[in-house]
Structure 1
Amino acid sequence: MLDLTRRAVVAGGGTAAVLVGVPALAATTPALSVGVLTTGNSSRPGSAAKLLGGLSAGFAAAGVPASLTERPVAFGYAGAAAAATELAAAGAQVVVASVSTIAARQVAAACAAAGVGLVVANVGAQLVDEPLPGAVQTSLQHWQSSLRMGEWAAGHLGRSLFSIVSAPDAGYDTVFAVRRGFTSAGGRFLGFELTHGADSGTVEQAARAAKRSGADVVAISATGSRAEQILQACRAVGLRAEVVLDSLAADALGRRAGAAWSVASWARGADPFATLGRDAALLVAEGQQRLAGRGWDRLGDILAGRKVGSLLVDRDLRTVSKPLVVRHAASVVASRPAVRGVPASMRTIDPDQVAGYTNEYLAT
């Protein structure tokens, strides 16, 4: 972590303002006013603090003094647009919003009306197929990582796939991405079992079904304790297939993930939400330089098609892509190219299989 030698924190009324930057610049340059919408009750304890820390580190690395004002919102959805409007009224020049893809549309409208910039920074569990006015959308590349995991698994781990999906996690595009990646690379999808739902079987039944299928690869799409329960059940029934895990679940389990495979936009050891915050800060800093005093509501336009370090902003969708890594246990074993835009394999998802959840932080 960079040494943030100038830092003042003022908290009250559900907000926190933080001044970060380089002392020499901070003395002569007005601090950029940044409003930050964080998820108030995520299933990832400390994710909001990590995001703020990443933002601070990113602005410090870019030499941009910035004043951060945090506003928590419920599950990245409720009250997000109103909170963005309030931040703009209080002087925010740009808003960094850790909200769902669905909520981001409302936040973008509020920011556009107020003439402020917007960087959406979320998990990326839901596919984005249209740009938001004036906004840039960066993420942890969750569905993109799953797509690349499927592609890589079909070429390196086996030619047949079985999926075990926990019901509370079943409504994300991430779940379908791993299957689409696998079949687009020539593999066969054999079927799936649902767990942790009112009408689903037990984790033991799902593990036995996966073993009976004879699949070379078993994908587990679940978060938190549910992922660990499924993994333990697979080991208990003697499953010999290669196991691929959701990247956030793999990080949360750590050594308990064993020899499972995962693909992520960050290496093991790095905190994903701190990385996400740093990426968002670097995008804002680049936008400030290129806007050169012009309105922040043009942030998306000015960054379209630009490369900021390892981040590439799509010219049309204004979504950010970055290189991905394949991870096995605690090691990075391969790199995978970034997923740009919406590939053909993801444009053919059936209407009844699109993501139905509004919570990007997988807190169900």
Structure 2
Amino acid sequence: MSNSFFYDTIEKIQSKIDDIKATSMCFVSEDNFILYNFRDNLLNSVSAFNKLDTLIIKPVGGNIKIEQVRDVEEFLMYKPNYAKVKVVFFEDIDRLNIEAANAALKLIEEPPEYALVFGATTRWNYLLPTLKSRFIRYDLSIPSVLIENINSKYGEIAIYFNFFRYYDSRVLLFLNEEETDVSRIKEVVERIVNSSAKNVDELLSNFKLSLDFPENKLKFSLSYYKLWNILINSNDKEFFYLIKNISKIKNDVENLSFLRNISTLGAILLRDAMVFLNSSKWKYFWNNSLVYFFGLNEHIVDVDIEQIKDTVSYMNRISTMRVANFNFEMETFTHFFRIKRCFIKAIK
């Protein structure tokens, strides 16, 4: 992500460096990719910083432990040797365990006069209240100029990309790159949008793609929503047959990654279903294209709100799951069945 997207924020920190020394700031975003790129741009762009006087703390084994906080305390005992300011950057600071969080309170509240303490998190509300009160919070989001560029570049089909700001911003960056072939992307989108029950196999083949590449993530995501457009209009026999076919890709995908990704996409779908019931304003939708893909205006009329809330909680648990201790076929079936059950009143 070009540092030009974060220029204003970084320039503000650069110009106010003497005023903000001895303070602690926490950068908050819904997307870790934004946080990691902002961290790199920040540390590499501010002239008062030097990597030799910078300490980056990352979770080890899922948590930030008290031993790592002790390392920070030792690091901050001495003035910088190569820079104007010593910097400590806590990644995923919400993963401080209780012991480490309590130990970190003092250094976050009162860093040395020659130091800055930064934190980054996608889960601000998971921080202890005592930690929150000691940080200056700074929210980071997808720069509006990036969305404007994509809307201008792709025209009408840009509506299908809106939800990636909440799902995976790497796809937006890929779409914005000069070397990305617009005509090829339009062809990909139109092919998926125009799919039907007759060529479901092509949609399923997109589930087998490596998600390390943004274009594959694009195909995967749009194929998932298009599949729901087909599923929601199928009868029970057709529904179970399609889910059985989806389960057959078990040996062709990384099982945990697949389930986590469809859970995130499913939660977006259900979130927009609730928005649709409470507002007609497009600006509140995360995925405007669901109006076309899923047919919100046709199906979300009489749904079970409590069932939707419960299913969103379930999806969120799966999307953050770290241990691959599950039955793939059963979890896949559960995923699609639970979502369909949310709309059972609306399906004829």
TM-score normalised per structure 1:
0.28
Pick the structure with more strand per residue.
1
Q: Which has the higher contact order (CA 8 A, sep 6+)?
A: 1
TM-score (norm 2): 0.29
Task: Determine which structure has more spread, i.e. the larger CA radius of gyration.
Answer: 2
